[in-house]
Amino acid sequence: MHISVVGLGYVGLVTSAGLARWGHTVEGVETSPERLHALLSDKIPFHEPDLPELVAAGRESGRLLFSGSNLEPAQRADIVITAVGTHDGNGGWQTNTMRACLSEIVPHMRDEAVLVVRSTLPPEFILELPELVTALRREAGRGPIPVLTNPEFTREGSAVHDFLHPERLIIGIAHDPDGSGLRRAQEAYADVTAPTLVMSAIDAAFAKLGSNLFLATKISFANELALLCDAYGADVSNAVLGMGYDDRIGPKFLKSGIGFGGSCLPHQVTMTVAEARRDGLEVPLLGAVDTVNHRQRTRFVETIESLLGSGLSGRRIALLGLTFKPNTDDLRDAPALTIAKLLIARGAIVQAYDPMPAARLRAQGIVPNLQAMPNVLDAVRGADLVALMTEWAEFGSLDWAAVRDLVAQPIVLDGRGFLDPTTVETAGFAYTGIGRRSRGSVGVTLTPGPAAIAVGSTPSVTFEMDDAVQVIS
Ligand code: UGA
Protein backbone atom coordinates (compact mmCIF):
# COMPACT_ATOMS: atom_id res chain seq x y z
CA MET A 1 0.00 0.00 0.00
CA HIS A 2 1.01 3.61 -0.41
CA ILE A 3 0.69 5.45 2.88
CA SER A 4 1.38 9.07 3.80
CA VAL A 5 2.10 9.88 7.46
CA VAL A 6 1.79 13.55 8.34
CA GLY A 7 3.96 14.73 11.25
CA LEU A 8 7.25 13.00 12.04
CA GLY A 9 7.44 13.39 15.81
CA TYR A 10 7.67 10.42 18.18
CA VAL A 11 4.38 8.94 17.00
CA GLY A 12 4.61 9.70 13.27
CA LEU A 13 8.21 8.63 12.76
CA VAL A 14 7.75 5.31 14.55
CA THR A 15 4.50 4.73 12.62
CA SER A 16 6.18 5.53 9.28
CA ALA A 17 9.22 3.33 9.85
CA GLY A 18 7.08 0.50 11.26
CA LEU A 19 4.69 0.51 8.28
CA ALA A 20 7.69 0.52 5.91
CA ARG A 21 9.07 -2.53 7.78
CA TRP A 22 5.77 -4.28 7.01
CA GLY A 23 6.31 -3.73 3.29
CA HIS A 24 4.27 -0.58 2.63
CA THR A 25 5.62 2.41 0.77
CA VAL A 26 5.49 5.27 3.24
CA GLU A 27 5.93 8.97 2.58
CA GLY A 28 6.50 10.77 5.86
CA VAL A 29 5.69 14.48 5.79
CA GLU A 30 7.47 16.92 8.09
CA THR A 31 6.91 20.66 7.75
CA SER A 32 9.67 21.74 10.17
CA PRO A 33 12.66 22.40 7.86
CA GLU A 34 15.19 21.57 10.62
CA ARG A 35 13.60 18.24 11.44
CA LEU A 36 13.19 17.35 7.76
CA HIS A 37 16.80 18.24 7.07
CA ALA A 38 17.94 16.05 9.98
CA LEU A 39 15.89 13.11 8.72
CA LEU A 40 17.12 13.51 5.15
CA SER A 41 20.67 13.50 6.56
CA ASP A 42 19.93 10.20 8.33
CA LYS A 43 19.79 11.83 11.78
CA ILE A 44 16.98 10.93 14.17
CA PRO A 45 15.98 14.17 15.94
CA PHE A 46 15.35 12.48 19.33
CA HIS A 47 16.57 9.44 21.21
CA GLU A 48 14.41 6.35 20.80
CA PRO A 49 15.95 2.86 21.06
CA ASP A 50 15.88 0.79 17.83
CA LEU A 51 14.39 3.65 15.82
CA PRO A 52 17.61 4.64 13.98
CA GLU A 53 17.97 1.04 12.74
CA LEU A 54 14.30 0.81 11.72
CA VAL A 55 14.45 4.12 9.86
CA ALA A 56 17.75 3.18 8.18
CA ALA A 57 16.28 -0.15 7.03
CA GLY A 58 13.24 1.65 5.60
CA ARG A 59 15.43 4.18 3.79
CA GLU A 60 17.69 1.47 2.37
CA SER A 61 14.72 -0.52 1.13
CA GLY A 62 13.45 2.58 -0.69
CA ARG A 63 10.07 2.17 1.02
CA LEU A 64 10.51 5.02 3.52
CA LEU A 65 10.57 8.49 1.96
CA PHE A 66 10.53 11.92 3.57
CA SER A 67 8.90 15.04 2.19
CA GLY A 68 8.35 18.63 3.30
CA SER A 69 5.10 19.02 1.38
CA ASN A 70 1.72 17.57 2.21
CA LEU A 71 0.28 17.83 -1.24
CA GLU A 72 1.91 15.21 -3.49
CA PRO A 73 2.07 12.45 -0.85
CA ALA A 74 -1.64 13.04 -0.09
CA GLN A 75 -2.51 12.82 -3.80
CA ARG A 76 -0.70 9.48 -4.14
CA ALA A 77 -1.73 7.79 -0.87
CA ASP A 78 -4.19 4.92 -0.28
CA ILE A 79 -4.16 5.97 3.36
CA VAL A 80 -3.23 9.30 4.93
CA ILE A 81 -2.36 9.03 8.63
CA THR A 82 -2.19 12.26 10.63
CA ALA A 83 0.16 12.31 13.62
CA VAL A 84 0.59 16.03 14.27
CA GLY A 85 0.94 17.51 17.77
CA THR A 86 -2.16 18.44 19.75
CA HIS A 87 -0.70 19.96 22.96
CA ASP A 88 -0.43 23.71 23.36
CA GLY A 89 2.65 23.33 25.59
CA ASN A 90 0.80 24.91 28.53
CA GLY A 91 -1.33 22.04 29.73
CA GLY A 92 -4.08 22.56 27.14
CA TRP A 93 -5.19 21.03 23.85
CA GLN A 94 -4.60 22.79 20.57
CA THR A 95 -6.33 21.59 17.43
CA ASN A 96 -5.14 24.36 15.08
CA THR A 97 -2.29 22.26 13.66
CA MET A 98 -4.67 19.37 12.99
CA ARG A 99 -7.26 21.67 11.40
CA ALA A 100 -4.65 23.31 9.17
CA CYS A 101 -3.27 19.93 8.17
CA LEU A 102 -6.72 18.57 7.30
CA SER A 103 -7.62 21.67 5.23
CA GLU A 104 -4.42 21.25 3.26
CA ILE A 105 -4.64 17.50 2.70
CA VAL A 106 -8.26 16.37 2.62
CA PRO A 107 -9.35 18.21 -0.58
CA HIS A 108 -6.50 16.52 -2.50
CA MET A 109 -6.94 12.94 -1.34
CA ARG A 110 -8.05 10.39 -3.93
CA ASP A 111 -11.73 9.37 -3.78
CA GLU A 112 -10.67 5.81 -2.84
CA ALA A 113 -8.28 6.96 -0.10
CA VAL A 114 -8.86 6.73 3.65
CA LEU A 115 -8.07 9.33 6.32
CA VAL A 116 -6.78 7.88 9.59
CA VAL A 117 -6.32 10.24 12.55
CA ARG A 118 -3.69 8.90 14.95
CA SER A 119 -3.05 11.99 17.11
CA THR A 120 -4.71 12.09 20.52
CA LEU A 121 -7.48 14.71 20.38
CA PRO A 122 -10.14 16.13 22.69
CA PRO A 123 -13.49 14.28 22.54
CA GLU A 124 -15.32 17.28 21.09
CA PHE A 125 -12.94 17.39 18.13
CA ILE A 126 -13.47 13.68 17.45
CA LEU A 127 -17.24 14.28 17.39
CA GLU A 128 -16.75 17.13 14.93
CA LEU A 129 -14.30 15.23 12.71
CA PRO A 130 -16.66 13.50 10.19
CA GLU A 131 -18.50 16.74 9.38
CA LEU A 132 -15.25 18.70 9.18
CA VAL A 133 -13.80 16.30 6.61
CA THR A 134 -17.03 16.02 4.62
CA ALA A 135 -17.29 19.82 4.47
CA LEU A 136 -13.70 20.13 3.21
CA ARG A 137 -14.43 17.57 0.51
CA ARG A 138 -17.71 19.24 -0.46
CA GLU A 139 -16.05 22.67 -0.75
CA ALA A 140 -13.46 21.14 -3.09
CA GLY A 141 -16.22 19.54 -5.18
CA ARG A 142 -15.13 16.05 -4.10
CA GLY A 143 -17.09 13.11 -2.73
CA PRO A 144 -16.83 11.89 0.88
CA ILE A 145 -13.95 9.65 2.04
CA PRO A 146 -13.82 7.19 4.94
CA VAL A 147 -12.55 8.73 8.18
CA LEU A 148 -11.08 6.51 10.88
CA THR A 149 -9.10 7.02 14.06
CA ASN A 150 -6.29 4.77 15.26
CA PRO A 151 -5.10 5.78 18.73
CA GLU A 152 -1.52 4.85 19.55
CA PHE A 153 -0.36 3.11 22.71
CA THR A 154 3.40 3.36 22.24
CA ARG A 155 5.62 4.36 25.14
CA GLU A 156 8.72 6.46 24.71
CA GLY A 157 11.74 4.27 25.26
CA SER A 158 10.03 1.19 23.83
CA ALA A 159 7.98 2.75 21.03
CA VAL A 160 9.39 0.56 18.24
CA HIS A 161 8.60 -2.64 20.10
CA ASP A 162 5.16 -1.32 21.11
CA PHE A 163 4.33 -0.43 17.50
CA LEU A 164 5.52 -3.68 15.95
CA HIS A 165 4.07 -5.88 18.72
CA PRO A 166 1.01 -4.09 20.10
CA GLU A 167 -1.23 -5.65 22.74
CA ARG A 168 -4.28 -4.45 20.85
CA LEU A 169 -5.12 -2.45 17.77
CA ILE A 170 -8.02 -0.03 18.05
CA ILE A 171 -9.77 1.32 14.98
CA GLY A 172 -12.35 4.05 15.57
CA ILE A 173 -14.99 4.60 12.91
CA ALA A 174 -15.86 8.27 12.35
CA HIS A 175 -17.30 7.85 8.84
CA ASP A 176 -17.13 4.59 6.90
CA PRO A 177 -20.57 3.69 5.55
CA ASP A 178 -19.48 0.81 3.29
CA GLY A 179 -16.62 -0.53 5.45
CA SER A 180 -14.00 0.17 2.77
CA GLY A 181 -11.95 2.34 5.13
CA LEU A 182 -11.79 -0.40 7.73
CA ARG A 183 -10.75 -2.98 5.11
CA ARG A 184 -7.85 -0.76 4.04
CA ALA A 185 -6.76 -0.08 7.61
CA GLN A 186 -6.76 -3.84 8.29
CA GLU A 187 -4.64 -4.33 5.18
CA ALA A 188 -2.13 -1.77 6.47
CA TYR A 189 -1.93 -3.63 9.79
CA ALA A 190 -2.07 -7.15 8.31
CA ASP A 191 1.13 -8.11 10.17
CA VAL A 192 -0.36 -7.37 13.60
CA THR A 193 -1.32 -10.53 15.44
CA ALA A 194 -2.95 -8.76 18.43
CA PRO A 195 -6.75 -8.45 18.64
CA THR A 196 -8.23 -5.62 16.57
CA LEU A 197 -11.06 -3.77 18.27
CA VAL A 198 -13.38 -1.81 16.01
CA MET A 199 -15.59 0.77 17.66
CA SER A 200 -16.96 4.26 17.16
CA ALA A 201 -14.35 7.01 16.97
CA ILE A 202 -15.53 8.56 20.23
CA ASP A 203 -15.29 5.20 22.04
CA ALA A 204 -11.80 4.73 20.61
CA ALA A 205 -10.85 8.21 21.85
CA PHE A 206 -11.95 7.24 25.34
CA ALA A 207 -10.16 3.89 25.13
CA LYS A 208 -6.97 5.88 24.56
CA LEU A 209 -7.69 8.64 27.06
CA GLY A 210 -9.04 6.15 29.59
CA SER A 211 -5.86 4.05 29.37
CA ASN A 212 -3.60 7.00 30.12
CA LEU A 213 -5.90 8.37 32.84
CA PHE A 214 -5.98 4.96 34.50
CA LEU A 215 -2.19 4.56 34.33
CA ALA A 216 -1.81 8.01 35.90
CA THR A 217 -4.34 7.06 38.58
CA LYS A 218 -2.41 3.89 39.40
CA ILE A 219 0.79 5.89 39.89
CA SER A 220 -0.86 8.52 42.08
CA PHE A 221 -2.53 5.74 44.06
CA ALA A 222 0.87 4.12 44.66
CA ASN A 223 2.25 7.49 45.73
CA GLU A 224 -0.56 8.00 48.23
CA LEU A 225 -0.03 4.46 49.51
CA ALA A 226 3.67 5.31 49.94
CA LEU A 227 2.69 8.24 52.14
CA LEU A 228 0.62 5.91 54.33
CA CYS A 229 3.45 3.36 54.42
CA ASP A 230 5.89 6.03 55.58
CA ALA A 231 3.48 7.11 58.30
CA TYR A 232 2.74 3.61 59.59
CA GLY A 233 6.19 2.05 59.20
CA ALA A 234 5.61 -0.16 56.15
CA ASP A 235 7.67 -0.61 53.00
CA VAL A 236 5.54 0.29 49.97
CA SER A 237 7.60 -1.85 47.59
CA ASN A 238 6.67 -4.95 49.59
CA ALA A 239 3.04 -3.84 49.87
CA VAL A 240 2.79 -3.34 46.10
CA LEU A 241 4.49 -6.66 45.47
CA GLY A 242 1.84 -8.33 47.60
CA MET A 243 -0.96 -6.47 45.82
CA GLY A 244 0.36 -7.24 42.35
CA TYR A 245 -0.14 -10.99 42.67
CA ASP A 246 -3.88 -10.31 42.51
CA ASP A 247 -4.80 -10.61 38.82
CA ARG A 248 -7.36 -7.88 39.23
CA ILE A 249 -4.64 -5.46 40.29
CA GLY A 250 -1.42 -6.58 38.56
CA PRO A 251 2.08 -5.38 39.45
CA LYS A 252 2.65 -2.71 36.78
CA PHE A 253 2.51 1.09 37.13
CA LEU A 254 2.42 0.93 40.91
CA LYS A 255 5.91 2.25 41.44
CA SER A 256 5.93 5.19 43.83
CA GLY A 257 8.41 8.03 43.61
CA ILE A 258 8.62 11.57 42.29
CA GLY A 259 5.57 11.07 40.10
CA PHE A 260 4.76 10.84 36.41
CA GLY A 261 6.05 13.23 33.75
CA GLY A 262 6.34 13.33 29.98
CA SER A 263 4.17 14.74 27.25
CA CYS A 264 1.22 12.38 27.71
CA LEU A 265 0.11 11.41 31.20
CA PRO A 266 0.40 14.82 32.95
CA HIS A 267 -1.19 16.79 30.13
CA GLN A 268 -3.97 14.34 29.52
CA VAL A 269 -4.93 14.40 33.19
CA THR A 270 -4.91 18.20 33.46
CA MET A 271 -6.58 18.73 30.07
CA THR A 272 -9.33 16.25 30.90
CA VAL A 273 -9.97 17.91 34.26
CA ALA A 274 -10.01 21.39 32.69
CA GLU A 275 -12.37 20.39 29.85
CA ALA A 276 -14.70 18.50 32.20
CA ARG A 277 -14.93 21.48 34.57
CA ARG A 278 -15.57 23.80 31.63
CA ASP A 279 -18.43 21.51 30.63
CA GLY A 280 -19.86 21.52 34.17
CA LEU A 281 -18.70 18.00 35.07
CA GLU A 282 -17.26 17.02 38.45
CA VAL A 283 -14.17 14.79 38.16
CA PRO A 284 -12.73 14.81 41.70
CA LEU A 285 -10.76 11.59 41.23
CA LEU A 286 -8.80 12.92 38.25
CA GLY A 287 -8.27 16.25 40.01
CA ALA A 288 -6.74 14.35 42.92
CA VAL A 289 -4.50 12.32 40.58
CA ASP A 290 -2.96 15.61 39.41
CA THR A 291 -2.72 17.03 42.95
CA VAL A 292 -0.96 13.92 44.27
CA ASN A 293 1.40 13.90 41.30
CA HIS A 294 2.55 17.46 41.90
CA ARG A 295 2.71 16.95 45.65
CA GLN A 296 5.31 14.23 45.06
CA ARG A 297 7.73 16.80 43.70
CA THR A 298 7.36 19.23 46.61
CA ARG A 299 7.38 16.42 49.17
CA PHE A 300 10.63 15.16 47.67
CA VAL A 301 12.25 18.56 48.23
CA GLU A 302 10.86 18.64 51.78
CA THR A 303 12.32 15.18 52.38
CA ILE A 304 15.72 16.43 51.21
CA GLU A 305 15.38 19.35 53.62
CA SER A 306 14.51 17.08 56.52
CA LEU A 307 17.36 14.66 55.71
CA LEU A 308 19.86 17.53 55.64
CA GLY A 309 18.48 19.17 58.74
CA SER A 310 19.59 22.79 58.57
CA GLY A 311 18.16 24.37 55.42
CA LEU A 312 19.25 24.07 51.81
CA SER A 313 21.25 27.26 51.42
CA GLY A 314 24.68 26.40 50.05
CA ARG A 315 24.01 22.65 50.27
CA ARG A 316 25.21 20.63 47.31
CA ILE A 317 22.69 18.16 45.88
CA ALA A 318 23.54 15.61 43.18
CA LEU A 319 20.64 14.66 40.90
CA LEU A 320 21.07 11.40 39.00
CA GLY A 321 18.86 11.58 35.90
CA LEU A 322 16.94 14.46 34.35
CA THR A 323 14.68 12.89 31.71
CA PHE A 324 11.09 12.00 32.64
CA LYS A 325 11.91 8.30 32.26
CA PRO A 326 14.89 6.24 31.10
CA ASN A 327 15.76 5.46 27.47
CA THR A 328 14.60 8.80 26.16
CA ASP A 329 16.10 12.29 25.98
CA ASP A 330 12.68 13.84 26.57
CA LEU A 331 12.53 16.48 29.33
CA ARG A 332 8.89 17.45 28.88
CA ASP A 333 7.31 17.86 32.33
CA ALA A 334 10.20 15.91 33.84
CA PRO A 335 9.81 15.83 37.65
CA ALA A 336 13.62 16.21 37.99
CA LEU A 337 13.47 19.68 36.44
CA THR A 338 10.75 20.91 38.83
CA ILE A 339 12.70 19.48 41.75
CA ALA A 340 15.93 21.12 40.55
CA LYS A 341 14.15 24.50 40.27
CA LEU A 342 12.69 24.17 43.78
CA LEU A 343 16.06 23.20 45.25
CA ILE A 344 17.85 26.09 43.54
CA ALA A 345 15.11 28.51 44.66
CA ARG A 346 15.86 27.42 48.24
CA GLY A 347 19.55 28.15 47.86
CA ALA A 348 20.93 24.69 47.02
CA ILE A 349 23.70 24.05 44.50
CA VAL A 350 22.38 21.41 42.11
CA GLN A 351 24.82 19.20 40.21
CA ALA A 352 22.99 16.96 37.76
CA TYR A 353 23.98 14.17 35.45
CA ASP A 354 21.90 12.42 32.80
CA PRO A 355 23.28 9.84 30.34
CA MET A 356 21.75 11.82 27.43
CA PRO A 357 24.10 14.71 26.48
CA ALA A 358 21.29 16.50 24.61
CA ALA A 359 19.08 16.37 27.71
CA ARG A 360 21.88 17.76 29.91
CA LEU A 361 22.35 20.66 27.54
CA ARG A 362 18.65 21.50 27.25
CA ALA A 363 18.10 21.16 30.99
CA GLN A 364 20.62 23.95 31.61
CA GLY A 365 18.56 26.20 29.37
CA ILE A 366 15.33 25.32 31.20
CA VAL A 367 16.63 25.48 34.79
CA PRO A 368 18.77 28.57 35.43
CA ASN A 369 21.88 27.83 37.54
CA LEU A 370 21.61 24.08 37.10
CA GLN A 371 25.10 22.60 36.89
CA ALA A 372 24.93 19.80 34.33
CA MET A 373 27.89 17.45 34.73
CA PRO A 374 29.42 15.19 32.06
CA ASN A 375 29.48 12.09 34.28
CA VAL A 376 28.15 10.67 37.56
CA LEU A 377 31.37 11.11 39.50
CA ASP A 378 31.54 14.83 38.77
CA ALA A 379 27.88 15.16 39.73
CA VAL A 380 28.34 13.51 43.16
CA ARG A 381 31.63 15.26 44.01
CA GLY A 382 31.20 17.18 47.27
CA ALA A 383 27.47 16.39 47.44
CA ASP A 384 25.60 16.56 50.75
CA LEU A 385 22.94 14.28 49.31
CA VAL A 386 22.61 12.10 46.19
CA ALA A 387 19.07 11.90 44.75
CA LEU A 388 18.02 9.34 42.13
CA MET A 389 15.58 10.94 39.67
CA THR A 390 15.46 8.61 36.66
CA GLU A 391 15.98 4.85 36.67
CA TRP A 392 18.67 4.70 33.96
CA ALA A 393 20.39 1.28 33.89
CA GLU A 394 23.74 3.03 34.46
CA PHE A 395 22.63 4.05 37.96
CA GLY A 396 21.64 0.48 38.82
CA SER A 397 25.25 -0.67 38.49
CA LEU A 398 27.02 2.31 40.06
CA ASP A 399 30.17 1.72 42.07
CA TRP A 400 28.78 3.12 45.32
CA ALA A 401 32.13 2.72 47.10
CA ALA A 402 33.66 5.11 44.53
CA VAL A 403 30.73 7.47 44.99
CA ARG A 404 31.22 7.28 48.78
CA ASP A 405 34.80 8.51 48.38
CA LEU A 406 33.61 11.65 46.58
CA VAL A 407 30.54 12.84 48.49
CA ALA A 408 30.62 15.21 51.45
CA GLN A 409 27.85 13.31 53.25
CA PRO A 410 26.75 9.71 52.57
CA ILE A 411 23.01 10.24 52.09
CA VAL A 412 21.00 8.71 49.24
CA LEU A 413 17.36 9.55 48.47
CA ASP A 414 15.87 7.19 45.89
CA GLY A 415 13.11 8.97 43.98
CA ARG A 416 12.15 5.95 41.90
CA GLY A 417 12.45 2.96 44.26
CA PHE A 418 15.13 1.77 41.87
CA LEU A 419 18.34 1.31 43.83
CA ASP A 420 19.14 -1.78 45.86
CA PRO A 421 19.12 -0.41 49.42
CA THR A 422 21.47 -3.09 50.73
CA THR A 423 24.12 -2.32 48.08
CA VAL A 424 23.90 1.38 48.82
CA GLU A 425 23.98 0.86 52.59
CA THR A 426 26.88 -1.59 52.38
CA ALA A 427 28.90 1.17 50.73
CA GLY A 428 28.29 3.29 53.83
CA PHE A 429 25.30 5.40 52.77
CA ALA A 430 22.10 6.10 54.66
CA TYR A 431 19.36 5.06 52.19
CA THR A 432 15.89 6.59 52.08
CA GLY A 433 13.20 5.71 49.57
CA ILE A 434 9.68 7.06 49.04
CA GLY A 435 7.40 4.95 51.26
CA ARG A 436 10.37 2.95 52.50
CA ARG A 437 11.47 4.88 55.55
CA SER A 438 10.77 1.85 57.73
CA ARG A 439 13.69 -0.09 56.30
CA GLY A 440 15.47 -2.07 58.96
CA SER A 441 13.22 -0.89 61.76
CA VAL A 442 10.55 -3.58 61.99
CA GLY A 443 10.56 -7.36 61.88
CA VAL A 444 7.66 -9.01 60.02
CA THR A 445 6.34 -12.52 59.83
CA LEU A 446 6.01 -14.21 56.50
CA THR A 447 3.67 -17.12 56.03
CA PRO A 448 4.88 -19.59 53.41
CA GLY A 449 2.84 -19.85 50.18
CA PRO A 450 0.00 -22.18 49.22
CA ALA A 451 2.08 -25.31 48.71
CA ALA A 452 3.17 -25.25 52.34
CA ILE A 453 0.00 -24.11 54.01
CA ALA A 454 -1.87 -26.63 56.16
CA VAL A 455 -4.71 -25.18 58.19
CA GLY A 456 -3.95 -25.28 61.89
CA SER A 457 -0.24 -25.97 61.48
CA THR A 458 0.98 -23.09 59.32
CA PRO A 459 4.72 -22.68 59.73
CA SER A 460 6.12 -19.19 59.64
CA VAL A 461 9.45 -17.60 58.85
CA THR A 462 10.58 -14.44 60.59
CA PHE A 463 12.78 -12.05 58.74
CA GLU A 464 13.95 -8.49 58.97
CA MET A 465 12.81 -5.71 56.64
CA ASP A 466 16.35 -5.56 55.30
CA ASP A 467 15.74 -8.84 53.53
CA ALA A 468 14.05 -9.04 50.17
CA VAL A 469 10.53 -10.45 50.32
CA GLN A 470 10.71 -14.22 50.16
CA VAL A 471 8.36 -15.86 47.70
CA ILE A 472 7.95 -19.50 48.67
CA SER A 473 6.01 -21.59 46.19
C1 UGA B 1 2.32 6.90 27.99
C2 UGA B 1 1.57 5.56 27.97
O3 UGA B 1 2.22 4.63 28.86
C4 UGA B 1 1.54 4.97 26.55
O5 UGA B 1 0.78 3.78 26.54
C6 UGA B 1 0.89 6.01 25.62
O7 UGA B 1 0.86 5.54 24.28
C8 UGA B 1 1.68 7.30 25.67
O9 UGA B 1 1.72 7.78 27.04
C10 UGA B 1 0.99 8.31 24.79
O11 UGA B 1 -0.14 8.72 25.10
O12 UGA B 1 1.52 8.63 23.71
P13 UGA B 1 4.92 7.59 28.04
O14 UGA B 1 4.47 8.99 28.25
O15 UGA B 1 5.97 7.31 27.02
O16 UGA B 1 3.68 6.64 27.64
O17 UGA B 1 5.51 7.09 29.43
P18 UGA B 1 5.08 6.04 30.57
O19 UGA B 1 5.87 4.81 30.41
O20 UGA B 1 3.60 5.91 30.64
O21 UGA B 1 5.61 6.79 31.88
C22 UGA B 1 5.05 8.05 32.26
C23 UGA B 1 5.61 8.51 33.57
O24 UGA B 1 5.12 7.71 34.64
C25 UGA B 1 7.15 8.47 33.68
O26 UGA B 1 7.58 9.69 34.27
C27 UGA B 1 7.42 7.31 34.61
O28 UGA B 1 8.60 7.46 35.35
C29 UGA B 1 6.19 7.38 35.52
N30 UGA B 1 5.87 6.10 36.19
C31 UGA B 1 5.57 4.99 35.45
C32 UGA B 1 5.83 6.05 37.58
O33 UGA B 1 6.09 7.06 38.27
N34 UGA B 1 5.51 4.87 38.19
C35 UGA B 1 5.22 3.76 37.49
O36 UGA B 1 4.94 2.70 38.12
C37 UGA B 1 5.26 3.80 36.09
pLDDT in tens, 257-305: 999 999 999 999 999 999 999 999 999 999 999 999 999 999 999 999 9
pLDDT value at position 440?
42
What is the DSSP pairing of strand 443-446 with strand 461-464?
antiparallel
Looking at residue 120, the DSSP 8-state letter turns out to be -
Mean pLDDT of 18-30: 98
Number of C-beta neighbours around residue 319 at 10 A: 30
pLDDT at residue number 470: 75
Which of 325, 338, 391 for mutating ligand 1's site (highest number of atoms within 8 Å of CB)? 325
- Looking at this protein, which amino acid is placed at residue 350? V
CA distance linking residue 219 with residue 260, whole number of Å: 7
Average pLDDT, the chain: 93
Q: How many CA atoms lie within 13 A of 82 on its CB side?
A: 28
pLDDT in tens, 289-302: 999 999 999 999 99
* Paired residues of 117 in beta bridges: 82, 149
pTM: predicted TM-score of the whole model, two decimal places = 0.92
Distance in Å, CA 262 to ligand 1 centroid: 7
pLDDT of amino acid 378: 98
CA distance 4 to 75: 9
* Atom of ligand 1 minimally distant from the CA of 261: 26
Instruction: Report residue 356: phi and psi, to 5°.
Output: -90, 110
Strand 411-414 relative to strand 430-433: parallel, antiparallel, unpaired? Answer: parallel
Among 97-101, 308-312, 339-343, 361-365, the least confident range:
308-312
Q: Which of 220, 265, 333, 418 to mutate to test the pocket of ligand 1 (most atoms within 8 A of CB)?
A: 265
pLDDT at 466 exceeding the cut of 90: no
Residue 260 Cα to ligand 1 midpoint, Å, equals 7
pLDDT digits (tens, 9 = 90+) for 315-370: 999 999 999 999 999 999 999 999 999 999 999 999 999 999 999 999 999 999 99
For position 468, what pLDDT does the model report? 63
Cα 35 from Cα 43, distance rounded (Å): 9
Contacts of 266 (CB under 8 A, 6+ apart): 91, 216, 260, 290, 293, 333
Contacts 24+ apart (CB under 8 A), 360-369: 360/322, 362/331, 363/322, 363/331, 363/336, 363/337, 366/331, 366/337, 367/337, 367/340, 367/341, 368/344, 369/344
The H-or-E segment that residue 214 falls in is helix 201-232
User: Alpha-carbon distance 42 to 36, whole Å?
Assistant: 10
In the chain, % of residues over pLDDT 90: 90
Residue 435 is classified by DSSP as: T
Report which ligand 1 atom has the smallest distance to the Cα of 334: 26
Mind telling me the catalytic residues? 264
**Mapped to the 3 state alphabet, what secondary structure does 273-335 carry?**
HHHHHHCCCCCHHHHHHHHHHHHHHHHHHHHHHHHHCCCCCCCEEEEECCCCCCCCCCCCCCH
83-92, 212-221, 239-248, 441-450: range with lowest mean pLDDT: 441-450
Q: Looking at per-residue confidence, does 231 or 437 come out higher?
A: 231
Cβ(172)–Cβ(150) under 8 Å?
Answer: yes
Per-residue pLDDT band at 473 (split at 50, 70, 90): low
Give the pLDDT confidence of 170-181 residue by residue, as tens digits: 999 999 999 999
